[in-house]
Structure 1
Amino acid sequence: MTGTRVSGQAEKALRAAMERLLAGKPTRTDGRLIKENLYREAGVSRATMNRAPDILTEWNERTAATGARTP
């Protein structure tokens, strides 16, 4: 992705975390659809998450579609 400035491993972790949170199956957090839970669920730092604008854009779009509520 053009806007992703993180390692492949970090991108993979963020995407997997996003899918778990959106599916209502968190493993490291309380499951709320907030960015803090995204990076914690992924096991990366907030700074790393912030260097992945494509992932954050997707997160914003997908959480807006849910009304920011877990399933």
Structure 2
Amino acid sequence: MTPAAVSAGTEQALCEATERLFTGQPTRTDGKLTKNNLWREAGVSRATMNRATSVLADWDNRVGQSPATLLAESDALRE
């Protein structure tokens, strides 16, 4: 059985939380770009966040392209 998709309101809450975290304007967390902060920032459960596959795909893509990630990869290559 496949898990149920999230509601439009939940998806919107996760998208808004993503934007707040990536713009450095968190309201409920310390602002680190982690999935733990994403679900907390959105005010949903971790299980609910995990059902929002399109939001998580966007999150993973954006985290992979964030300046902090690129800097860490660059530092690792120099070692």
- TM-score, scaled to structure 2: 0.79
CA shift at 1:68, angstroms?
7.9
CA shift at 1:25, angstroms?
0.5
Match of residue 59 from structure 1? 59
Query: 1:34, 1:56 → 2: CA distance?
Result: 11
Match of residue 36 from structure 2? 36
RMSD: 1.8
- Write out per-residue CA displacement over residues 8-56 of structure 1, whole angstroms, 9 at most, x where no aligned residue: 1100100000000000100000000000000000000000000011100
* Displacement over 3 Å in runs of 4+: none
1:33–1:68 CA contact under 8 A, matched in 2: no
Instruction: Name whichever structure is richer in helix by fraction.
Output: 2
Larger Rg: 2
The total of aligned residue pairs comes to: 66
- Percent identity between matched residues is 55
- Structure 2: tracts of 5 or more residues without a match: 72-79
Residue 37 of structure 1 aligns with an amino acid whose one-letter code is N
Query: 2:53, 2:11 → 1: CA distance?
Result: 11
- Structure 1: tracts of 5 or more residues without a match: none
Match of residue 15 from structure 1? 15
